[in-house]
Structure 1
Amino acid sequence: MRSLRRRLLPFLLTAASVGAVTVLIPPALAALGLLPWPQALVLSGLVLLGGAVCGLAAGLLLVRRAVHTLSVEVRTHTRVVTETVAAERLEIAEATEALSEVRATVGRLEGQALPRQRCQIRQDLLAQDRDNFEQHVAWTELREHLDVPAFMPSLRGWAASPDLMRLVVRHIDRLQPGLVVECGSGASSIWMGYALRRQGRGRVVAIEHEVHYAEQTRAMVAEHGLDNVVEVRLAPLVEIDPSSLTGSDGEEFTTADRWYDTSALSDLDGIGLLLVDGPPESTGRQARYQALPTFWPNLADDAVIVLDDTNRKDERALGERWLEEYPELRRAEEPAEKGAHVFSRKGA
């Protein structure tokens, strides 16, 4: 509208100037005696009337154009507002639908999943409580049975659990082995050392591939005065030929390609108990399989092999391989926190 006024302003000024000049012409002619005054006044009145009519017409034109422009702006604004309101309504509808889905999901969780989760958590806590109690009982029985000092290396976690140690000590008492070999070293080496000292014979050879852990275990051995019973032997992991196997689920995989350096183990003969608790799982698939093929010729006839961590799929699978490759073996599954399988010769 402002642009229209700017365009018409020069025209209106020109028209007003021309009109003013035209109105003054009849009086000028009358003053010169060229036109009678009555006619001059009539002509000036007609000119003024014509100017007024033209001004009114111009004003009506401006009003008409202004109304048209306003109408266009109103329609445009109405369309924008309508589209905005429609979009907001659509968003509100989508948000309402999403909220309804969330409410339905929450309702399902409250009605189904949460009760199951609460039940599962309650069962897990009860199982953990029972397991903690069993480990405390096993720890207490071990201390009383072996009559050990007050400050003993802790069991559980990375170390063997008390219930596994109790199982091992029970077999040591029964077999009274002259040689116990442990794949791995740590707190369990100390506890087995006390078990052998109690029976008055035998020794433990703990095989360790890490220098740092070997030194730690040797320090514990010296602290407990078991140097004449427990030997920690360093045997780094070296490359071996891996095997390509197919799992029970049809998956093809390659076994671990490293195991203890056997050159450090050649003199171990007459093994009465073999505790397989290493190498670590990170070494590769079925990392502990090699223990039985390596030590089989050196086992006593009544020897017992204890395999730890049989709650793990890998340990159970390698135990199956042992049974297939050594049909004279039998296996007993023992209740233990991390799972334990005990292998021995049939009839032994």
Structure 2
Amino acid sequence: MRSLRSLRSLRSLRPRWKYLAAAALVGAAAAAVFATLAALGLLSREGAAQLAVLSCVGAAVLANALLVVRLTRRVDTLGRRIDARARSVGDAVGAQHAQTAAALKEARAELEAVRERLPALSEELAKAVNVQGRHDYEQQVAWAELRDHLRPEAPFMPALRGWAASPDVIRLLVRTVEKHRPELVVECGSGASSVWLGYALRRAGAGRLVALEHSERYAELSRQLVRDHGLEDVVEVRYAPLTDWRPSDEEDGGRVQPWYDTSALEDLRDIGLVFVDGPPEGTAKQARYPAVPELLPRCAPDAVLVLDDAGRPDERRITKRWLRDFPELSAHEEQAEKGVRVFARKAM
């Protein structure tokens, strides 16, 4: 380590040695000149010696002066570099400070906006929690009432809610079955609701259910569910794939949309209850509209039609369209988690 430091010290002295060596050469040359002049008798020895000494001193002074000038230039250059670096660092720090200040200002603005909205958001959240809690409680009550009333033989019943109908809608359908005692119930869609309706018809002592299912795989799953509950004599799941359906009236412009294959309806007569819970909303715009044009002519005079998911915008439009296109129908709304509309022919 010491040898390395010594080497660096020697390197730093190189410019100084150059100037001192040049000064020594100049002094030596002057001394030689003055010695020659003394030898020729042009100068005295004492004078020549004095002049030689003065020449060496002058050369040394000149060398030091040149060295000072060089060092001064280096110091100036180094100072300019330091100033430039300082300005660069200052600019960078200033830019960073400006960005940080802008970010803090934006964060403060967002925080203030959240603070302003917080009371309204808290109120909305509390309302949503209360509504959901009320729905959950009502569905639990409806589920318990259904099990106690129908007393299914199987220990486990298929789940309701979500994609399936909610317990409050199934409870409405069970009450309708017991009130009207329909000989034939048609369900647009199949699944858990088919099993619950099957138990309701068995308890009523008469009637059968035909469930239309557009998915072949899901139709088989529903059939297996029906078999698991021993309801094959009451519930029939028919595979009815979606095909092009066109309204008969010209007012609608003849718009084609998918609906259940109507060949699955050929033998259906005197339908007493229609439960419209399909096809799924994503299959078409107002996907469930064809149910009334196709099934109402096959219904008994006192038939009841129940539209599930009536709270959705598409189903609200379907309701208005049904009442417009079939003025003999009347409708009323029942309280349900997803909304439900009940249609019947007006009394004559």
Could you state the TM-score of these two structures normalised by the residue count of structure 1? 0.85
Residues in 2 aligned to 1:168 and 1:255: alpha-carbon distance in whole angstroms: 32
Structure 1 residue 122 corresponds to structure 2 residue 126: yes
Correspondence for 2:232 among 227, 236, 246 = 227
- Equivalent residue number for residue 270 of structure 2: 270
- After superposition, residues 31-180 of structure 1 pair within 5 angstroms as 34-35=40-41, 39-110=44-115, 112-149=116-153, 150-180=155-185
Residues in 1 aligned to 2:256 and 2:163: alpha-carbon distance in whole angstroms: 21
Q: How many percent identity over aligned positions?
A: 46
Unaligned runs of 5+ in 1: 244-253
Shift of 1:21: 3.9
Shift of 1:146: 2.2
Unaligned runs of 5+ in 2: 1-9, 249-253
Q: Which moved more, 1:278-287 or 1:98-107?
A: 98-107
Work out the number of aligned pairs and report it. Answer: 333
Structure 1 residue 287 corresponds to structure 2 residue 293: no
Asked if structure 1 preserves the Cα contact closer than 8 Å seen for 2:37 and 2:48, the reply is no
Gap change, CA 1:125 and 1:11, over 3 Å in 2 = closer
Gap change, CA 1:48 and 1:340, over 3 Å in 2 = same
Gap change, CA 1:74 and 1:21, over 3 Å in 2 = closer
- Equivalent residue number for residue 245 of structure 2: 240
- State the Cα deviation string for residues 256-287 of structure 1 (Å, max 9, x = none): 73211111221111111111111112212111
Residues in 2 aligned to 1:345 and 1:131: alpha-carbon distance in whole angstroms: 31
SS at match of 1:157: coil
Asked if structure 2 preserves the Cα contact closer than 8 Å seen for 1:255 and 1:284, the reply is no
RMSD of aligned residue pairs (Cα, Å):
2.9
Residues in 1 aligned to 2:92 and 2:58: alpha-carbon distance in whole angstroms: 50
Shift of 1:121: 1.8
Q: Which moved more, 1:209-218 or 1:326-335?
A: 209-218
Gap change, CA 1:238 and 1:116, over 3 Å in 2 = same
- State the Cα deviation string for residues 221-242 of structure 1 (Å, max 9, x = none): 2222222111111111123349
Gap change, CA 1:65 and 1:233, over 3 Å in 2 = same
Shift of 1:205: 0.3
Structure 1 residue 257 corresponds to structure 2 residue 262: no
